[in-house]
Amino acid sequence: MSAISACRYCLFWILALPLYTCQGVPVICFYSKDCILPCSYNPGTDVVIHWQIGAKVVHSFYNGNDQLKQQEEQYKYRTSLFKDELQKGNASLLLRNLQIDDEQSYHCYVGTFEGSYDTYIELKVASPVTYVQIETNETENTEEIECRSSDIYPAPSVTWSYPTNESYKEFTNSSTDVNKLYSVVSKLTKEGMKKNTNVHNYSCKIKTWQSQWETTLTRQEQKIEEGQEWNVYCMLPNVGPQNCKLAWKTSNTNTVTAKFEKSKQPKKTSEFPNNILLRDDHFHVPKVTETDNGTYTCSCTYGEVTKVCQIKLKVIPDGLHPKLSYLLQTKYVFCNDVTLSPLLRLLLTKTWNHY
């Protein structure tokens, strides 16, 4: 560096008044991704660039080269300038593999022979909510609905929706891992006898200021006589064939995926009982046996929403209630009961409960 350039370098830090000043610019970038912090200036000669957080050096450039001896340890090998853009007035900084601790106030100083320029950046780091898993657990007298998510930043909040005629207690716990990302677990619990309601609807929404995800759960219990034919449909509200990919699973947690494709031929799968056929968006059981007892769950994810339909099947041994045989030779079960008239639903419910 020449004596004149050295003098200019010192004067930039001690005496020079900025000719152009930008106020703080908010920038949002995603955790573990690359991030560009913008900074511009009027092109000039003898360019000096300093990116700093207070007195901490993030990246420096002068005398035509990067000067990184004073760079903070956490930024080593993670920063670079766009060298081909310097003569165009672009002093933006590329920050790789963004971490939570990178959420800081950054100062970009650019000095040239013609003037000096300051840009201030307020960097916000986000790790969005990308899923909400919902599970159920119940005994004879206790019911528990749990939703969870992880790898979130900043700290999320949880909002529940559940049947208004039921009394639940909410418990929510959040924690952070070594990367300062949040995990959250929230539970609904209810003790005592369940209401005599066939369908229960729940919703769990986890959100931050930047993102959210909602999972809804529709639960239903069904009783069916052994030997009868059974069709169980995944009827999810406000979900059309054009935007849904179904995932079915049984109580043994095995999973199979089927799209909404009406032309698809029925298929058998070893992940389900031998007599079950998977047809498009529903199961077809030609002849129910006691081995079909269990919980059947379908789920659909699209956008920032997951909808889950859970049907608990109880197979009644043959001959236990012959009065129903003439009513339901073939049984079609819909998760939201859309196919049953109120009168028929009331008749069936009372008759089933009798047995």
Model pLDDT for residues 207-221, shown as the tens digit of each residue: 999 999 999 998 888
Q: What pLDDT was estimated at residue 319? A: 61
- The per-residue pLDDT for range 266-322, each reduced to its tens digit, is 444 444 444 444 445 566 778 888 887 888 888 888 788 888 888 888 888 876 554
CATH for 3-126, options being 2.70.170.10, 2.60.40.10, 3.40.30.10, 3.20.20.10: 2.60.40.10
Q: What pLDDT was estimated at residue 315? A: 86
Higher pLDDT, 328 or 85: 85
Instruction: Share the mean pLDDT of the chain.
Output: 78
Q: What pLDDT was estimated at residue 167? A: 84
Q: Which residues contact 292 (CB under 8 A, 6 or more apart)?
A: 230, 273, 275, 276, 285, 313, 315
Higher pLDDT, 355 or 226: 226
- The per-residue pLDDT for range 307-353, each reduced to its tens digit, is 888 888 888 887 655 444 444 444 445 555 444 444 444 554 555 45
Ranges in the chain annotated CATH 2.60.40.10: 3-126, 211-337
Q: What pLDDT was estimated at residue 335? A: 57
Q: What pLDDT was estimated at residue 12? A: 39
Gap between the terminal Cα atoms of the chain: 95
Q: What is the pTM of this model?
A: 0.75
Angle (CA) 70-52-31 rounded to 5° is 105
- The per-residue pLDDT for range 2-47, each reduced to its tens digit, is 443 444 444 434 333 333 444 579 999 999 999 999 999 999 999 9
- The per-residue pLDDT for range 218-257, each reduced to its tens digit, is 888 888 888 888 877 776 666 554 456 667 777 655 555 5
Q: What pLDDT was estimated at residue 337? A: 43
User: Residue range 110-114: average pLDDT?
Assistant: 94
Task: Tell me which CATH code domain 211-337 carries.
Answer: 2.60.40.10
> Sheet harboring 255-259: ordered strands across?
157-161, 199-207, 212-225, 305-316, 294-302, 245-249, 255-259
